[in-house]
Structure 1
Amino acid sequence: MEKETARIEGFSDGVFAIAITLLVLDLRIPATENNEPQTLVHSLLTQWPSFLAFSLSFFSIFIMWVNHHKMFKQIYRRNTLLMFANGLILFLATCISYPTALLARYYGTPSATAAVAVYTGLFVLINLAFNLLWSTASRNRKLLRPAISDAAVRKIGRNYQYGLPVHLSAFLLSFCWAGGALILCVALWTYWAFTSGRLDLPDEKPVNVP
């Protein structure tokens, strides 16, 4: 079967690239009153929330792109609902730079809980969008790779379902422990990073029904 999703994948790769590039715009050269190295080092250290926010968001978008790429290895055809579900993921990916800036500005302040709540809340929506995309693709098996098995479809679906309760827990935890909420998100992203190979399904020969 000829793959129909090449343009969707190419456009998506471009959006992910732009989203990940936008993050660096929030990193600023510190303004110091003198040229003493100690002053510069101190100014850099005070910007640690910016470096933390940038690192978290960079790797989160990267992991999103990896999983999106692996998902589309199994999606061969497209319909209107699939394209809009994919568009929702891209919209949310481009939104990440805003809560990243909030996290950089307010983490370490009394407003940290609100900033982390916005940050983790966005990832709840992103996880829902990924589940919507796979649900749309797998509901109509005509959109998937012909050789994919029912077990493989369920396996991929489970991989994305784990994220919703974890991100939702991180969102609720952010109101009382901002640092713990971020640790929970990092733990999930680390799990996804190390288990993304499970989405590399072996080629399966289609069953010929007489």
Structure 2
Amino acid sequence: MGKNRMEAFSDGVLAIIITIMVLELKVPHGEELATLAPLMPVLLSYVLSFVYIGIYWNNHHHLLHAARQVSGGALWANLHLLFWLSLFPFVTGWMGENHFSALPTAMYGVVLFMASIAYWILARLIISTEGKDSLVARAIGRDSKGMISTLMYAIAIPLAFVAEWMAQLLYVAVALMWFIPDRRIEKVMPQHAGSAVNTIQDP
């Protein structure tokens, strides 16, 4: 089945998630710069989550751009991913309001961990539909970067109860790893296009 509706629906959900997160930012009562100080934890957690949502939107776009079609299983896997991403406003607000304390920081990591697993499931279902030699399969490859990210989330969750700042540092480190858009699919696309042209031109 076509992928356009799934992509459009996902874009809409991600836009709503960002809107909900920004609405959690309360306007300070006062015009001095000092009135922003109590809001800094909430603002910092918002910035981190905004970057993460942007990363997922970017990679999700590239993934579907490379895919030719999606199966019914992929539709459910996409909803599974959106479920975990929809929890970002909750854990973002909880973590910021409680000044990055242990339990909210750990739960933020749980959502990150589960979202990464959900994205992996979605990618694997698309590959299973299109085949191991498909554009998506060749672009993703072994996905070492994704596995390292998931491992770092898994480490950060229990670490939050020992040293919250170290868990936060891991979350920031993963975000920085993915801040530059993943070029794997973009690198494969020109080769794929060239192959398609050659196929058409060959008798």
Larger helix fraction of residues: 2
Distance 2:70 2:184 in 1: 23
CA distance in 2: counterparts of 1:147 and 1:88, whole angstroms: 24
Q: Is the 8 A contact 2:140 2:185 kept in 1?
A: no
**Among 13, 16, 30, the residue aligned to 1:15:** 13
Is residue 2:185 matched to residue 1:199? Answer: yes
Match of 1:154 among 135, 141, 159: 141
* TM-score (normalizing by structure 2): 0.86
Equivalent residue letter for 2:174: L
C-alpha change, 1:165 and 1:48, in structure 2 (3 Å) is same
Say which is worse superposed, 146-155 or 99-108, in terms of deviation: 146-155
Is 2:127 the partner of 1:138?
yes
Alpha-carbon distance in 2 for matches of 1:149, 1:116: 34
Identity among equivalent pairs (%):
24
Matching residue of 1:24:
22
Match of 2:160 in 1: 174
Q: Aligned pair count? A: 194
How far is 1:189 from its partner? 1.3
Unpaired stretches in structure 2, ≥5 consecutive residues: none
Q: How do residues 23-172 of structure 1 correspond to structure 2 at under 5 angstroms?
A: 23-32=21-30, 40-107=32-99, 112-141=101-130, 148=135, 151-155=138-142, 157-172=143-158
Distance 1:192 1:183 in 2: 14
In the superposition, the TM-score normalised over structure 1's length comes to 0.84
Q: Distance in 2 between matches of 1:23 and 1:90?
A: 15
Distance in 1, Cα, partners of 2:33 & 2:2: 52
Distance 2:136 2:112 in 1: 29
Which secondary structure state, in structure 1, belongs to the residue aligned with residue 2 of structure 2? Answer: coil
